[in-house]
Amino acid sequence: MKSVTRSLRILEAVAQHQPVTVGELTKLFGLPKSTVQRTLVTLNEAGWLRANRKDTTRWEIGARVLAVRPAALQGSSLFAAAREPMIRLRDALNETIHLSVPDALHSMVVVDRVDCDHAVRTFHAIGDTSPLHATATGHAVLAHLPKSEVDEFATGTLEGYGEETITDPKELRTELRRVRERGYAVNHNQYLQGVCAIAAPVLDGDGVPLAAVAVSLPDSRFEPGRLAELGQVVTDTAAEITARHLR
């Protein structure tokens, strides 16, 4: 359904650029003015958008969006289970900690974050997405999916983002085996340059991967000699979240 898909795209764009005008959005999407205009009015009538109070030609996200909460955040699930262990991990390492979940189409989405206090630190906003095949959290999740799902996903040539990105499905599969063996995934310059991340999966009772916790730090502070140690504490944290989540 074309109009629905487009409306959601426009909604996301408004969230990114708010408060934004019709004209700015038409340029962004290359669509006819009237089409964008109509979409904005519809979204407004549904309460998902609203006109800015000061400048009524500018649009921003309406409060109605708050009524829609992802399953991953509901009640006492993951989100609540993860908070404390994440804070402890941050305290132990003084590096930024992320919780990410896989989404419908081959992305990891940042769901929660606990910041470190270094002046130089990595930054991913809540809601940011990154490709499954090129991030530590993505690998942590992929490594625990049924082979059939990985096969379906890892086909052809995967998109590259730099020298280090694994673009060959075969190579990806051997990397995933390594991740399973040692329990954690490592990403160094595969997606964002200058960033290093170490991630471990949070699993369901049945071994289904629900999310991944990661520590993320700038190149400049990464000491290869400490990798095993970091991998261990991240894995322990993920295990603790899993345990808390199950009970």
Partner DNA sequence: GCGCTTCATGCCATATTGTGGAACGCCGTG
Partner DNA sequence: CACGGCGTTCCACAATATGGCATGAAGCGC
Under rule CB under 7 A, residue 57 binds DNA: yes
Report residue 187 as tokens: 């990403």
Q: Which of 8, 16, 33, 92 binds DNA (CB under 7 A)?
A: 33
Q: Quick one: 1 or 71, whose CB is closer to DNA?
A: 1
> At residue 43, what is the residue type?
L
The span of 16-24, 78-86, 178-186, 235-243 binding DNA (CB under 7 A) equals 16-24
Residue 75 interacts with which of a second copy, DNA, none, CB < 5 to 8 Å by class: a second copy
Q: Which of 13, 19, 37, 167 binds DNA (CB under 7 A)?
A: 37
The span of 26-34, 91-99, 182-190, 205-213 binding DNA (CB under 7 A) equals 26-34
Q: Which of 31, 192, 227, 233 binds DNA (CB under 7 A)?
A: 31
Report residue 67 as tokens: 């009524």
Strand segments (E) across the chain: 20-21, 49-51, 58-61, 96-102, 107-114, 129-131, 185-188, 195-203, 209-218
Q: Quick one: 19 or 209, whose CB is closer to DNA?
A: 19
Count of CB atoms situated within 10 Å of the CB of 5: 9
DSSP-derived secondary structure letter, 126: T
- For 101, phi and psi rounded to 5 degrees? -125, 150
Task: Give least dist CB 177 to a second copy, A.
Answer: 23
The span of 20-28, 136-144, 174-182, 212-220 binding DNA (CB under 7 A) equals 20-28
Q: Quick one: 34 or 174, whose CB is closer to DNA?
A: 34
C-alpha distances in Å from residue 30, one per residue of 2, 35, 91, 184: 15, 10, 47, 43
CB-based contact 137:214 (threshold 8 Å): yes
Q: Provide the CA 108 distance to its chain's centre, in angstroms.
A: 4
Q: From CA 204, how far away is CA 121, in angstroms rounded?
A: 31
Under rule CB under 7 A, residue 60 binds DNA: no
Q: From CA 7, how far away is CA 29, in angstroms rounded?
A: 11
Of 135, 132, 198, 139, which Cα lies nearest the Cα of 164?
A: 135
Total of residues contacting DNA (CB under 7 A): 22
**Interacting residues toward a second copy by CB under 8 A:** 1, 3-5, 7-9, 11-12, 14-16, 18-19, 38-39, 42-50, 52-53, 60-75, 101-105, 107, 109-111, 125-129, 204, 208, 210
Under rule CB under 7 A, residue 146 binds DNA: no
Under rule CB under 7 A, residue 40 binds DNA: yes
Count of CB atoms situated within 10 Å of the CB of 180: 15
Under rule CB under 7 A, residue 2 binds DNA: yes
State the residues that interact with DNA by CB under 7 A: 1-4, 6, 21-24, 26, 31-35, 37-41, 56-57
